Amino acid sequence: MQQLYNMFSNVRIRDVIDVLIVAYVLYKLLNLIKETRAEQLTKGIVVLLVLTKLSEWARLYTINYILDNAMTVGVLAILIVFQPELRRGLEYIGRSSFLKKSLIEVRGESISKTIDEIVDAVASLSRQRIGALIVLEKQTGLNEVAETGTEINGVVTSDLLINIFIPNTPLHDGAVIIKDNIIKAAACFLPLTDSSNVSKELGTRHRAALGISERSDSLSIVVSEETGSISIAENGSISRYLDTKTLRQILIDMYEPEEDKQSFISKWRLKNEQEKE
């Protein structure tokens, strides 16, 4: 008991704060790599570390030498392999509340009109079963993605969005990028998701929506060409079979300048669970 008392008596407040900060950072890092290829690579690195220590304790010098040098060279390999995840992590830090300023400068009637135009367009495309992919840019810039398509720089209107996605037109195949109330570009190419847990029912549009949501904080709206169903992808997660009322509420929440608010999809799912109860 005396030893235990002595151990805890030496613990200072700054030590507790130090441990809590490290725990918080590790928790955030685990969330960033969850259900991505980095998760499997991290498991592989942990196995190599364990094997290196075991070979050292067992005095297997040749194996230990190989593993030890492999880990040394592996630091550079990690930076290369984990480049997308590292970029995502740095973007997350840049989006943190202590560095954040509101990037949505359009307010009042302009916001309401933009939401109405997007919802009306999605509703029309859904009724006609016309496939569509609309990406709403938030804090992470999507200029690199916009450059893969055709520059529009036009005010968001339902007619323009519908005309873009009409089959066999020059711009229908690809994604539309919207920033605030402006359509930046159309026919843009998006990266497909790296996740291996995606349902086989999901087509290229849904996989592209998931892919861009894994690499940025954007919110993507997908209209299925086969069923006309409406889906939303955000933070590497997708929710399907939304109605226009739910879509409108999600967009309203997105434009609200709240601090530390929940994921839009999480809020929608929580509301659904409460209604079922």
Domain ranges for the chain: 2-94, 109-276
State the pLDDT confidence band at 238, using cuts at 50, 70 and 90.
very high
Residue 225 has pLDDT above 70, yes or no: yes
Asked if 231 and 238 count as a contact pair (C-beta separation under 8 A), the reply is yes
CA distance 118 to 144: 23
pLDDT of 252 reads 87
**Mean pLDDT computed over 104-130:** 83
pLDDT of 261 reads 46
pLDDT of 253 reads 86
Closest CA to 178 of 218, 209, 210, 213: 218
User: Average pLDDT, whole number, for the chain?
Assistant: 80
Asked if 146 and 184 count as a contact pair (C-beta separation under 8 A), the reply is yes
State the pLDDT confidence band at 104, using cuts at 50, 70 and 90.
very low
DSSP 8-state code for residue 259: S
Name the residue with higher pLDDT: 181 or 5.
181
Residue with tokens 């861009």: 212
State the pLDDT confidence band at 102, using cuts at 50, 70 and 90.
very low
CATH 1.20.1440.80 fits 109-276, yes or no: no
State the pLDDT confidence band at 27, using cuts at 50, 70 and 90.
confident
Tokens standing for residue 188 = 């843009």
Name the residue with higher pLDDT: 135 or 253.
135
Beta-carbon contacts of 84 under 8 Å, excluding residues fewer than 6 positions away, are 194, 215
pLDDT of 14 reads 83
pLDDT of 143 reads 86
138-148 pLDDT, tens per residue?
888 888 899 99
**Mean pLDDT lowest for which of 65-69, 76-80, 96-100?**
96-100
Q: Which residues are paired to 223 by β-bridges?
A: 132, 230
pLDDT of 133 reads 97
With 0-12 CB in 10 A as exposed, 13-18 as middle and 19+ as buried, what is 255? middle
Closest CA to 142 of 171, 177, 173: 177
Closest CA to 264 of 54, 154, 115, 105: 115
pLDDT of 70 reads 76
Residue 274 has pLDDT above 80, yes or no: no
Asked if 125 and 159 count as a contact pair (C-beta separation under 8 A), the reply is no
Tokens standing for residue 48 = 């190599």
Residue 60 has pLDDT above 70, yes or no: yes
Element counts in the chain: helices (H) and strands (E): 11, 7
Asked if 197 and 178 count as a contact pair (C-beta separation under 8 A), the reply is no
**Mean pLDDT lowest for which of 85-89, 204-208, 272-276?**
272-276
Helix, strand or coil, per DSSP, at residue 274 = helix
What sign has the CA pseudo-torsion 139, 140, 142, 144? Answer: positive
**Mean pLDDT computed over 67-76:** 74
CA distance 273 to 277: 6
pLDDT of 221 reads 97
pLDDT of 97 reads 47
pTM for the full model? 0.62
Closest CA to 254 of 217, 224, 223: 217
Name the residue with higher pLDDT: 253 or 176.
176
**Mean pLDDT computed over 143-169:** 93
